[in-house]
Structure 1
Amino acid sequence: MLLPSVVPRILTCQRRRLYASAAVAGTSSDTSTTPKVFQVFDRQAKRLQKDRAASQVEQSRTVDYLRDEIGARVADRLLDIHRNFDTVVDLGSGSGHIIKHVKADKVKKMILCDMSALYRDKDIQYEVPVERQLVDEELLPFKQDSLDAVLSSLSLHWVNDLPGTLIQIKNALKPDGVFIGAMLGGDTLFELRTSLQLAETERESGVSPRVSPMADSNDMSRLLSRTGFTLTTVDVDEIQVNYPSMFELMKDLQAMGESNAVLTRRPLLKRDTMMAAAAIYKELHGHPDGTVPATFQIIHLIGWKPSENTPLPKKRGSANVSLKDVL
């Protein structure tokens, strides 16, 4: 992703809640008969992109505005749960975007996991004791029934086997443990996607996947239930950020480690095509002041591992209070 040295303002935030069904029936965690996963993303390229972003300390810190904001929202959801946690995993932790918002009276220990061996917050002392592990999100090393909670902020949208990862997370959780995640999805960067597609069609007579495919909130709601979670909830936040031009947006995406990692991507974007895309972007989506918007749709996920203490939904028609009277 690309952006200027000036941290842009988060302009709008729209939230709508979608509640998935709390009932889970006939779900199995056995992956032995699962067909081979279709590979969409180049995981090695993504690791190198994250390594490069982490190595550019000063530049990377100027573009943490989005990750810090989403990390704070994930932490808020954990803090809203009225219990204390012994061991919590932050999957795809980056430079500690979640843990900086977590208090020691809530969590005894956090395991920060990332696929990059480099991290920019090694000199920071957090309030919560920290353990670091080099972990691929598609192959989790945790024992079954060993974790109180698993958190993930802006990491799962680069996973090829998302159902497999969710099953591994559920298996690693203790009964009645909670998974809280946030991932890019839906119409994220639709302005950039459409502008690049139009420019490539005009200049190169074809299109290349310049922006990765995104999961939909409805898909994630069903996926949480099918992978064995109960009491599932899906929140969708929409954040719009203004940039001076398309070039600053792309520069920030790169500094975040969010550059394109689709396997079928073209290795280069021609200068002529890029200039045309920037002009189209400004013409179709630009503001009167000359800036251009970039939309980030954040899908927030909450799911609980079933246990004998898990609350069950009431039978249909058993309510004795009218919602109309309450409202």
Structure 2
Amino acid sequence: MSEQTMRAVTIKEFGGPEVLAVERVARPEPLPTEVLVRVHAAGINPVDWKTRAGHGMAGLQTLPLTLGWDVSGVVEEVGFGVTTLAPGDEVCAMPWFPRPAGGYAEFVTAPSRQFARKPASLSHAEAAALPLAALTAWQALVDTAHVTGGQRVLIHAAAGGVGHLAVQIAKHLGAEVVATARGHRHTWLRELGADETIDYTSRRFEEATGAVDVVLDLVGAADGTDVRSVAVTRPGGLIVSVPSGVSDALAAAAGEADVRTSPLLVEPDAAALTAVAGLVDSGAVRVEVERSFGLEQAGEAHRLGETNRTRGKLVLEVAR
């Protein structure tokens, strides 16, 4: 086929997984300071299926749209002014977020300094599972909460994409980690570094653990998790609420209890991603890929992801 086109998963209207279709579209060209990356694998995140359904970041997108922000691949071409990367370099990134990046495709372009070197110990499928989830965890725990040794950190939805990486990053920072997840995930989470695990389906977490300094809430208002977290947060402690920010109910409850709150929306950050890659290559952090799919199976992957029962991440392998 022409080098001017490529395969990509596109949506022409918001809706269910059935709107995802593989088509041939124009191949992007790198502008000055940008690189063209041949994508080997693209990570799948909850924001993908939420956006596909008309929620998430849908208001910032224009149809037709190619979803996907997590990518791992090889630099194919560099634009004028690029000094940090060269053709042949293996890289991974979460480019452009929350603007469209078009990760479910054979090629992407983005500013070179949004890319980090792929961890040498990871396959492209594993590396594609890393950026958005790891950066969310890092920016929450390191940049926002400033977690230090000896603190107690409660992580909700600890077995998910962000959660399982947050457990390991918090442990690396010296924290005592309390993790909520279904019971059959507990052995695995303890292997990752969780000191205490709570099965939220059988016990209310606020009745099962003592006070904590930081809560990383990856659930939000579902079942009142955000507001209920105030009860276990020490005065002066912090709740970082990721899914939909700080609700009015959470702000009110936290204010009465002298608990701080913060929303978080992840940003591209090559320096932080490079730091995480170092932890991965040192063995301090590992990324879990439950299952990989081909581009044509993007709809099937979304259906599985929407069950919210996956362990770690799902990935599309662009070249299988």
Q: TM-score scaled to structure 2, two decimals?
A: 0.41
Could you say which structure has the greater relative contact order, defined with CA pairs below 8 angstroms and 6 or more residues apart? 1
Higher strand share: 2
Q: Which has the higher Rg, Structure 1 or Structure 2?
A: 1
